[in-house]
Structure 1
Amino acid sequence: MHYALVTETWPPEVNGVALTVRDLARGLWQRGHLTDVIRPRQHDDVEPVAQELLVPGARLPGYATLRFGLPAQRLLERRWRAQRPDAIYIATEGPLGWSALRAARSVGIPVATGLHTRFDLYMHDYGVGMLAPVAMGWMRRFHNAAAATLVPTRALHDELAGRGFRNPRHLPRAVDTLRFAPWRRDAALRARWGMHDGDLVVTCVGRLAAEKNLPLAIAAFRHLQRSHPRARFVLVGDGPLRATLQREHPDFVFCGTQTGRALAEHVASADLFLFPSRTETFGNVVLEAMASGVPVVAFDNGAAREHLEDGVHGRRVDDDAGFIHVTRELAGDAGTRRAMGLAAREATGTLSPAAVCADFDRILASLGHPHATTAALAAA
């Protein structure tokens, strides 16, 4: 089969969308498919691939390290008429994604989209909550123009179906349990943080930005610190809030962006993992922490609702007070944390990346049936 994947984010950008799309592309290549990647050109490209088309892009306001793609409808129409894919996957709803959707409709190629980002929920984090219905309508219009909208959890599938999304399809996520594993725990790394083996390291991994709800994680840590004064909060990631957070919390450890083995070592070297975000469609780092044998505190949504059993692999909560309470509770119970970490690791053993890519392949291959696609494309 010949597929095309369109994305406005790709490594070396570090975010869930970029890494998920890269892994899907790799999985299709490994399955022997001709798979093109269409994405914005980046100034610091370090992961070029042979089967790609680079298009112009621009920096995302407020995020110096992120870019979005500029419209490229005519370019894509020419390319797809000359080298017609069997199906197209569009991972992002930006200008490049919209132009790819229109180009596919013009050429008559079936499309699946991926809903990776809850822009409607982001509106509240940036003080414009009144625009959430507008964002939801914009997302619905985009995704309803495709033959299928791929989502990572059953809960999100059901929510979108109830909000007028016509063709949601559940595509699970996976985690690399060879890379993220308890044996990646690194005593030397903990020593650089000023921590001994019995000391408590609390970690948060992700973009340092408003939508990640970091004030709650900080509040939870400050509460537990009253009874565990030697505890250390380690933040892995970068973003627009980093300078402010470093100035306000000089006792925290800021590790910046980590990738590959270094990221796995940072995650596994923690004793408790906090995931305070309420706006994730999934949250890959939850699975990465679980695979690393680290118990997780998270809200009852996304990856936590799908994979984290409350009281067994960590704690799922419904409100801020609960988040703070269970964080402090787990901080004082090393035995429970160890048992939860072992159970969390075991629970991720069946989340195979190869199986997810096989499902992705089957979904894309099924889009070629005209009765499944014509009506959706005509509604764009």
Structure 2
Amino acid sequence: MRYAIVTETYPPEINGVALTVQAKEQGLRLRGHDVELIRPRQSRGQKGVAHELLVPGLPIPGYPSMRFGLPALRTLRRHWEAQRPDAIYIATEGPLGWSALRTARKLGIAVSTGFHTRFDEYTRDYGVGFLQPLALGWMRRFHNASDATLVPTCELADFLRGERFSDVVHQPRAVDTRRFEPARRSTELRSSWGLGEHDLAVVYLGRIAAEKNLPLAIRAFREIAKQRPDAKFVWVGEGPELAGIRAENPDFVYCGLRRDEDLAAHFASTDLFLFPSHSETFGNVTLEAMASGVATVAFDYGAAKEHLVDGEHGAAIAGEDDDAFVAAALRIAGDDALRRAMGIAAREAVSKLRPAQVSADFDELLRRIARDRSARHAQPTPA
């Protein structure tokens, strides 16, 4: 089969969407398919490699290292008329994603979309909550124009169906347990943070941005530090809130962006992961922490709701109870034996998640929508 994947973020950019898209692409290739990646150039003069079409883009405000794709209707139409894919997957709802969706409809090509980010929830985090219904309506219009909308959790699938999203398909995610594993724990790395073997490394790993509710993680750590003076708060990642947090908290350890095995070593070398976001669609980092054998405190959304059992692998806090989040972090930080047992159980829980099965399910969905569209003899849909 010939597939096209359209995305406005991709490694070396580090975020959950970019890494999920890369895993989908690689999984399809391993299954023997011809996969073309369509994305914005990440730097001036960048040349596309084989099976890659690069289009113009602009920096995302607040994230100069990331770009969104500009509309590319003509480029995509010419390209897909010359090299027609059997099915298209669109990972992002930006201008490039909208162009790809409109072009696919015009050409009668089967197309699925991925619902990766609750942009409607982000409106609250950035002080424009009154726009939430408009944002949700905008996303519904986009995804309902596709043949299927992929979501990573049953909770999100139920929510979208209740909001009149059509053709919602739940497809679980997996985690690379060969990369993220407790054996990558490094005494040398911990020593560079000023920590000994029995000291406490609390970690936040992810995008450092307003929608992540990071003041709560800081509040929880400050309470931990009162009972554990040997604790350090390790931050891995970048984002628009980093400078302010760093200025106000110079005692934290800031590691910047980390990738691949280096990222895995940073996770495995910590003891407690605080993930305070209220608005996660999934949260790959939750699975990565669990695979690394790190007890996790998170709210009961996304990956935490699907995989993290409260009291066994860490804490999954119901609702948006910030006080309960802090209390759980304190309890787990203060009990070394409990925390280690939770890490072992978390690793065991995600060891059964198989990336190969996720790729097979994704492949079958693309095959199905291609077969269905062909069987209907669908005509191109007006823009």
TM-score bin (small chain): over 0.9
Residue by residue over 1:305-343, the C-alpha shift from the partner in whole angstroms, topping out at 9 and shown as x without a partner, is 000111111100121011000000101100001111111
Partner of 2:373: 370
Please report how far the alpha carbon of residue 229 of structure 1 lies from its aligned counterpart in structure 2 after TM superposition.
1.3
- Cα separation, partners in 2 of 1:196 and 1:137, compared to 1, 3 Å: same
Quote the Cα distance in structure 2 between the aligned partners of 1:85 and 1:64.
32
- Cα separation, partners in 2 of 1:344 and 1:163, compared to 1, 3 Å: same
1:339 maps to amino acid = A
Kept in 2, the 8 Å contact 1:90–1:111? The answer is yes
Which residue of 329, 342, 353 corresponds with 1:327?
A: 329
* Corresponding pairs, count: 380
Please report how far the alpha carbon of residue 243 of structure 1 lies from its aligned counterpart in structure 2 after TM superposition.
1.1
1:338 maps to amino acid = R
TM-score, with length taken from structure 2: 0.96
Please report how far the alpha carbon of residue 374 of structure 1 lies from its aligned counterpart in structure 2 after TM superposition.
8.2
Residue by residue over 1:124-183, the C-alpha shift from the partner in whole angstroms, topping out at 9 and shown as x without a partner, is 000000001010000000000001000000110011001110111011111000000000
Kept in 2, the 8 Å contact 1:145–1:376? The answer is no
Within a 5 Å distance, the mapping from 1:170-185 to structure 2 comes to 170-185=170-185
1:341 maps to amino acid = G
Matched, 1:140 2:143: no
Quote the Cα distance in structure 2 between the aligned partners of 1:197 and 1:376.
65
Please report how far the alpha carbon of residue 94 of structure 1 lies from its aligned counterpart in structure 2 after TM superposition.
0.2
Give unpaired runs (5+ residues) of structure 1: none
Kept in 2, the 8 Å contact 1:203–1:274? The answer is yes
Quote the Cα distance in structure 1 between the aligned partners of 2:133 and 2:346.
37
Matched, 1:103 2:103: yes
Secondary structure class of the residue paired with 2:255: strand
- Cα separation, partners in 2 of 1:376 and 1:165, compared to 1, 3 Å: farther
Partner of 1:23: 23
Please report how far the alpha carbon of residue 375 of structure 1 lies from its aligned counterpart in structure 2 after TM superposition.
8.6
Kept in 1, the 8 Å contact 2:47–2:54? The answer is no
- Cα separation, partners in 2 of 1:55 and 1:33, compared to 1, 3 Å: same
Residue by residue over 1:63-102, the C-alpha shift from the partner in whole angstroms, topping out at 9 and shown as x without a partner, is 1111000000111111111111000000000000000001
Give unpaired runs (5+ residues) of structure 2: none
Quote the Cα distance in structure 1 between the aligned partners of 2:338 and 2:107.
57
Kept in 2, the 8 Å contact 1:204–1:273? The answer is yes
TM-score, with length taken from structure 1: 0.97
Kept in 2, the 8 Å contact 1:236–1:257? The answer is yes
2:357 maps to amino acid = A
The percent of aligned pairs where both chains have the same amino acid is: 60
Please report how far the alpha carbon of residue 349 of structure 1 lies from its aligned counterpart in structure 2 after TM superposition.
1.0
User: What RMSD, in angstroms, separates the aligned Cα atoms of the two structures?
Assistant: 1.8
Matched, 1:354 2:356: yes
Partner of 1:122: 122
Matched, 1:163 2:166: no
Secondary structure class of the residue paired with 2:293: coil
Which residue of 341, 344, 350 corresponds with 1:342?
A: 344
Secondary structure class of the residue paired with 2:112: strand
Kept in 1, the 8 Å contact 2:273–2:295? The answer is yes
- Cα separation, partners in 2 of 1:149 and 1:214, compared to 1, 3 Å: same
Residue by residue over 1:246-282, the C-alpha shift from the partner in whole angstroms, topping out at 9 and shown as x without a partner, is 1100000010000011100000011101111111110
Secondary structure class of the residue paired with 1:127: coil
